[in-house]
A and B are shown apart, each in its own frame.
Chain A
Amino acid sequence: MSDTQLADWRNHALTLESEVNKVVVGQESPVRLITTSIFARGHVLLEGDVGVGKTTLLRAFTRGIGGGYQRIEGTIDLMPNDLVYHTYLGEDGKPHVSAGPLLQSGENLSIFFFNEINRARPQVHSLLLRVMAERTLTAFNKEHHFPHMLVFADRNQVEKEETFDIPSAARDRFMMEIPIVVPSDAAIMESLVFDTRFHDVDALVANVPESILQFDQLNGFAAKLQNSITASPTLRSYVLNLWRATKTPMDFGVKVSGVDMNRLVLSGASPRGMGMVLRAARVNAWLNERTAVLPEDIHAVLHSTVAHRLVFSPVYEMRRTEIARDMLSGIINAIATP
């Protein structure tokens, strides 16, 4: 791929970022990570409280990317077929079947947003995870393809009642888990409350120019981008050490306060997970106008791509967000490069 193409796409990506940042203020880091995942073609799990702007953020991205946007709410009685179709009695008094959220946009489905995924049953997770992995769905005796689809799901970590924990195998399908927190900057907080432009979400999202990116060209560009950004032997060695450290942090002298490190990790990052780290790091390098991955690119995406893949002893699961953050920071601090 020519440098010009890379630069053109980079400009588009940065424009998209810039426009989204105007709509969702104080979320520069999540916006950068979502942009990264879009170009790395990875699904994203958003974690955050209610009303922090997750939906607005995704709608803004969808508008900028173009293509179809579908959304479903996770509830305890949601069944897998609810994603595929729904039945109703028509005006003619006969039963009718219409396409569900997954099928509604057909192949043009660009972003599928699963709100509060942890409220849905494991059966629903199972279907969704297959769609995420294969980007296909068999329904009505036909195989449907969603080549451009990215799944964005969110979960509320505060409420635990009537929820189903997402198993580690399912979490591993998501490229990133991105925390969305309320901005701490006083001026931004005040603006979010008193600025009337934030009160009408539809009008707010409409401010993002449509189709800054061409959703149907993203797959092709993403593949070429991955081939354009190199990883030196030194970096490869560094990443392998990081990987090993997620499995046996004690071997690298990593400690977390108040945690028995010998018992903490049941399973480190998976090969798929580390592959996703590199995919995301390559995109980050490209966004920063580099032709090779640096350790800083790995650091930029390590927390969001690895933390949710770690499997801890049950006794530490309740504190996993905090422990995973400290452990990964410890790993970055402990492992040197070159």
Chain B
Amino acid sequence: MRASFLLITLTSILGIQPAIADVILPDINAKYVTIIEENPTRDAGFVVGDVLDRTITLTVKKPYELVKESLPIEGYEHRYKGQISGIELVKISTEETKHSDSVTHVLHLRYQIFTTGKLAKPAALRAEIVKMRNTTNKDVRQYRIPSYSFRISPLSVFGSVKLKEEMSPFIAPLLLDSSREKLTIKVLIGVLAASLLGLLYMLGMHAWLPRMGAPFAKAYRDIRKMPDTAEGLQQAVARLHESLNKTAGNSVFSSNLADFLQKKPAFSPVKQEIEQFFGLSRQVFFEPNAVTNVSASPKTWLQKFCRHLRDCERGLLPELKSTTNTKAS
């Protein structure tokens, strides 16, 4: 600051012509410049420390061009009637697009507020003066980017205030800190969702999908886990008997199979397989010498058979081709 003051004093003493920036130039004809402003979305409620972004798009037609040295400088302390306004340009960036008869300059201006007060007070993003030079005759003109008015609010309210008079549609409502409550709600919603899922699981007979908990669907899952041993075979046959009985609502034997099929006609397509199953059960539990017409691997056959029963249980028509590999054992 001191260096610049000395420089100005020295030039005036020496009678040196003042620099372009310090003289008031005539305005450029409006037909050569078009402007598009993008100002902050609200004009009130700003407090100390807030940042305001403003984008100015200038299109300068030939023969004029923008004097880039005339663009505002970062950190320059703006004064109004000798007083520091407290609003400072903290960042500027430009983009330039050349056209055949014009050049478009996009100026991104970022201001920060360094002032406050006890009451809301008017303020403005200053009107920036930029210079335009005629490339043919070197004539220099100025262009005034309009200012933008807004209000700076105090950080806290002092004394009694008539809110009705102070209200503005752009002032955001004062918000309480609700992050804790939001977290609680989120946790509760999670618990509720888990409870609902649990309820669904229970209502679905301990299954996530409809009919997933039905007797043969459960049996199919159990049988797949059983070992392929004599003991595992016994368990698998017993498990299927259990499911048959549960489905029928009573004990099913080969002697009352017809009654079962009459009561549950969905299982009619696997009648032959059920008869084979009773033959296998007879061999496994009652008469080891009995002949069955189940394939060489009873465990595999039982799995397929159980899957077919599960299909019937779900109202589907099982694919029976895969189980026609019956063979006398």
Specify whether A and B are partners.
yes
- A residues bordering B, Cβ < 8 Å? 230, 232, 234-235, 290-296, 299-300, 332-338
Inter-chain contacts of B286 with A (CB < 8 A)? 232, 234-235, 292-295
- Among candidates A291, A292, A294, A338, residue contacting B234 with C-beta atoms closer than 8 Å: A338
Which residue among B234, B242, B285 has the maximum number of chain A CB atoms within 10 Å of its CB?
B285
The answer to whether B251 and A335 have CB atoms under 8 Å apart is yes
User: What's the minimum C-beta distance from A237 to chain B, rounded to whole angstroms?
Assistant: 10
Inter-chain contacts of A332 with B (CB < 8 A)? 251
Chain B residues with a Cβ closer than 8 Å to the other chain, count: 18
The answer to whether B241 and A336 have CB atoms under 8 Å apart is yes
The answer to whether B254 and A296 have CB atoms under 8 Å apart is yes
Known contacts A293-B286, A294-B282, A338-B238, then 13 further A-B pairs from the complex at CB < 8 Å, ordered by chain A residue:
A291-B287, A291-B289, A292-B290, A294-B287, A295-B286, A296-B253, A296-B254, A296-B255, A299-B253, A333-B251, A337-B241, A337-B285, A338-B237
| C-alpha spacing A334/B252, complex, angstroms | 10
Q: Which residue of A lies closest to B255 (CB)?
A: A296
Q: Which residue of A lies closest to B248 (CB)?
A: A333
The answer to whether B287 and A292 have CB atoms under 8 Å apart is yes
The answer to whether the Cβ of B245 comes within 8 Å of any Cβ in the partner chain is: yes
Inter-chain contacts of A234 with B (CB < 8 A)? 285-286
The answer to whether the Cβ of B250 comes within 8 Å of any Cβ in the partner chain is: yes
- B residues bordering A, Cβ < 8 Å? 234, 237-238, 241-242, 245, 250-251, 253-255, 281-282, 285-287, 289-290
Inter-chain contacts of B245 with A (CB < 8 A)? 336
Q: Which residue of B lies closest to A285 (CB)?
A: B287
Which residue among B234, B238, B250, B251 has the maximum number of chain A CB atoms within 10 Å of its CB?
B251
User: What's the minimum C-beta distance from B262 to chain A, rounded to whole angstroms?
Assistant: 15
Q: Which residue of A lies closest to B235 (CB)?
A: A338
Inter-chain contacts of B238 with A (CB < 8 A)? 338
Inter-chain contacts of B234 with A (CB < 8 A)? 338
The answer to whether A299 and B285 have CB atoms under 8 Å apart is no
| C-alpha spacing A292/B289, complex, angstroms | 9
The answer to whether A333 and B287 have CB atoms under 8 Å apart is no
Inter-chain contacts of B250 with A (CB < 8 A)? 333-334
| C-alpha spacing A309/B254, complex, angstroms | 27
Inter-chain contacts of A300 with B (CB < 8 A)? 255
User: What's the minimum C-beta distance from B95 to chain A, rounded to whole angstroms?
Assistant: 85
The answer to whether B242 and A336 have CB atoms under 8 Å apart is yes
| C-alpha spacing A299/B287, complex, angstroms | 17
| C-alpha spacing A336/B244, complex, angstroms | 10
Inter-chain contacts of B290 with A (CB < 8 A)? 290-292
| C-alpha spacing A337/B238, complex, angstroms | 8
| C-alpha spacing A232/B285, complex, angstroms | 7
**Known interface pairs A334-B250, A335-B251, A337-B251. Does A290 touch B287 (Cβ–Cβ under 8 Å)?**
yes
User: What's the minimum C-beta distance from B38 to chain A, rounded to whole angstroms?
Assistant: 82
| C-alpha spacing A6/B234, complex, angstroms | 30
| C-alpha spacing A290/B289, complex, angstroms | 10
User: What's the minimum C-beta distance from B292 to chain A, rounded to whole angstroms?
Assistant: 13
| C-alpha spacing A235/B281, complex, angstroms | 12
